[in-house]
Each structure stands twice: as structure tokens, then as C-alpha cells.
Structure 1
Amino acid sequence: MHTTENRSALLADLALIAFLVAFVALARLLPHAWGFMPVAASALFAGRMLRNPVLAPVVPLAAMALSGLVLSGDDWRISLVTYGAITLPAFAGMATRNWRGVIGTAGTMVACSVAFFVLSNFAVWAFSGMYSHDIAGLTQCYVLALPFFQNTLIGDLFWTAVLFGGAWMIQHMPLLSRSNG
């Protein structure tokens, strides 16, 4: 009996991973405002919702890699930092699995958005050659990236609300619940 439950949990996790990866990859390929994507929100969602949360980093990494086959690439060092930074919400989701409520979830997402902004723009400053390698260049890089951060933060919070709100509705709305019928 225990093995059947484990298999069912694994299949449910794999189905959720496949859905999230496809959703994020498609969202990256469709027209969107720069930075307004569900990548970080899906990673946080996976970290919180998967029965086996260690699988959560697969979601953003697979989605980025899959959509990256079509999109033009950055310098490999910038991509490496970006890929690492985009897994942070998955780990944050694992660390905050027992937190409930909008404030804790939104706060976690904001912290992940800020971390992504800091890390990804530091990589752009360090490796792109677009900025001088001094404090003035670093400052310029962060200042010029602020409009993108605004989109990222709004997008991360929007998609977090969509994913967690959708899950809540499925779990609590009688017409959507699997237990009804």
C-alpha cells in the first residue's frame, strides 16, 4: 500500500512539474513585457506544493533550458548566474513550506525578486562589457535595470497570486474540488 501511495505522489509531482515547465516555457516564448514572466513564481510554487520538494529546482531550470533552445543566449557566465538565481525561489519555497497566508508568500517572493535583481545585474555588470568595472559602472548597471526590476517584481507577485490563488480555489471551491462528485 505504501508503495502505491509513493508512486501516486511521484506521478502527481511529475504531472505538476510537466505543467509548470510547459507553462513557463510557453510564457517565455509568447510576447510579454520584459521581466513579466512566471519563472520565479512557478519555482516558489513548486517548492511549496510538490510532495517531494527536492524536485522543485527542476521547474525553473527545465523551463529556462527548454525555452532557451528557441531564444537567443547570453554570455554563458551571465546565463549561469541567471540559472542559479532563478532556482532561489524553489529553495525558498522548500524552506517556507509550512508558512501559510498571503503575507508570508508575498514576502518570500519579494525577497526572491530582489535577490534575482541583485545577482543577475551583478553578472551583467561583471561579464557583459557594457559597464566600466568600477563602482560608477556597477551603480549605472543597477540604476538602468530598475525599470526591469519593476516589471519583474510585479510579474513575480502577479504570477504568484495566479498559481497560489488557483491552487487555493481548486482546494476550496466545491465546484472545482475533486472530492465533489
Structure 2
Amino acid sequence: MKINNIRVATLASIVLVAALTRLLPHPFNFTPIGAIALFGGAYFSKKYLAFLIPLSAMLLSDALLGFHNSMWAVYLSFVLIVAIGMGLLQKVTAGRVFGSALLSSVLFFVVTNFAVWYGSAGFYPQTLSGLGACYLAGLQFYQQDFFGNLFFNTVLGDLFFSSVLFGAFEALKSQVPSLKAA
């Protein structure tokens, strides 16, 4: 399959701009992380680009923001969300983007809170009940921020940014025929 350079450059620019919005002030966890991964998985026709470009943009923004001990879980979630985009968004529709964004939010919560439990070094018992306690505490953690709970953070952020990214590219495709898939 031939690479459409204009399409790849446009997609990469959208991903980079979205990743850099993480540097702007925002409510906790109201970020484009899940949307970037879904978007990459859905639109890059070359699988390696679907991973490489969004991951590179995330690394760039994280290099500016800083790293923490459980970044492996964030990046594992990110890679899995790219795969969700590849699988569930082969045909992009509003309903599929909505469902994929919700699934991505839940996946991110499950994976990153598992990492908290796994790396808790005695704070949570390394048992099934300890894992459950960690997930419960994770839900309570989300309730202490500006918007008030998990829905208004990760879920609403993923839905908002997915709408913006997918909507913007679909609008561009209708105006610029060379952006359509090869």
C-alpha cells in the first residue's frame, strides 16, 4: 500500500497538536491521551505509523511534563487503545468512536490502577482483595478533583477529545480529497 504523504503529515500534525494541549492548564485527567491513541489506530493505514506517531507525540509531551514510576502502565494502556482503534474503528462512525472512547477510558483506569496496586510496596496487600481496595480507592481519588468524579475526567475528556480529533479530520477530508485513504 502506497503512503499518502499529505494524509500522513496531516494526521501527524493533528496528533502532535493534541499531545501538546497536555501542556495547557486542564482539569486532572481531562486530556487527549485516549483520543490520540484511538485516532492513530483508526486513521494511519500503516500499522507501524499508528503506533509510532502517537507514541512519539506522547513521549515528546511527557518529556516536557515529566515522567513517573508507573509510566509503563500509561504507555501499555496507550498501545492497547491504539489496538482498539485499529480493531473497532476500521469504519469510523460517531457511535463507534463513542463506544471506543468509553472502552478506552475504562481500560486506562483498569491498567493504570493495576500498576498502582502492583507497585504499592505494602500499601495494598498483593491479594485480590488488595487489588479491589486499590480500584475502589482509585474511584474515590477521581472524586476529589475540580469536576468531581471519574465521568467528568477520563471519560468526558476521552469523549471530548475524540469528538474534536475525529470530527476535525472528517471535516478536513470532506474539503481536501487527497486526505482520503489510499
Do they fold alike, i.e. is TM over 0.5? yes
Paired residues for 1:10-159 under 5 Å: 10-24=5-19, 26-75=20-69, 78-129=70-121, 130-146=123-139, 147=142, 149-150=150-151, 151-159=153-161
Query: RMSD of aligned C-alpha atoms?
Result: 2.3
- The amino acid that maps onto 1:16 is L
- The amino acid that maps onto 1:31 is P
Are the counterparts in 1 of residues 117 and 124 from structure 2 also a CA contact under 8 Å? yes
Secondary structure (helix, strand or coil) at the match of 1:73 reads coil
Greater relative contact order: 1 or 2 (C-alpha under 8 angstroms, separation 6 or more)?
2
For the structure 1 residues 46 and 37, does the alpha-carbon distance in structure 2 shift closer, same or farther, using more than 3 Å as the test?
A: same
Secondary structure (helix, strand or coil) at the match of 1:56 reads helix
Are the counterparts in 2 of residues 46 and 53 from structure 1 also a CA contact under 8 Å? no
Are the counterparts in 1 of residues 42 and 92 from structure 2 also a CA contact under 8 Å? no
Deviates more, 1:162-171 or 1:115-124: 162-171
Identical aligned residues as a percent: 33
Aligned equivalent of 1:163 = 165
Shift of 1:60: 3.5
Are the counterparts in 2 of residues 36 and 156 from structure 1 also a CA contact under 8 Å? yes
Are the counterparts in 1 of residues 102 and 155 from structure 2 also a CA contact under 8 Å? yes
Aligned residue-pair number? 167
Are the counterparts in 2 of residues 106 and 157 from structure 1 also a CA contact under 8 Å? yes
For the structure 1 residues 66 and 137, does the alpha-carbon distance in structure 2 shift closer, same or farther, using more than 3 Å as the test?
A: same
For the structure 1 residues 107 and 154, does the alpha-carbon distance in structure 2 shift closer, same or farther, using more than 3 Å as the test?
A: same
Secondary structure (helix, strand or coil) at the match of 1:95 reads helix
Are the counterparts in 2 of residues 117 and 149 from structure 1 also a CA contact under 8 Å? no
For the structure 1 residues 10 and 91, does the alpha-carbon distance in structure 2 shift closer, same or farther, using more than 3 Å as the test?
A: farther
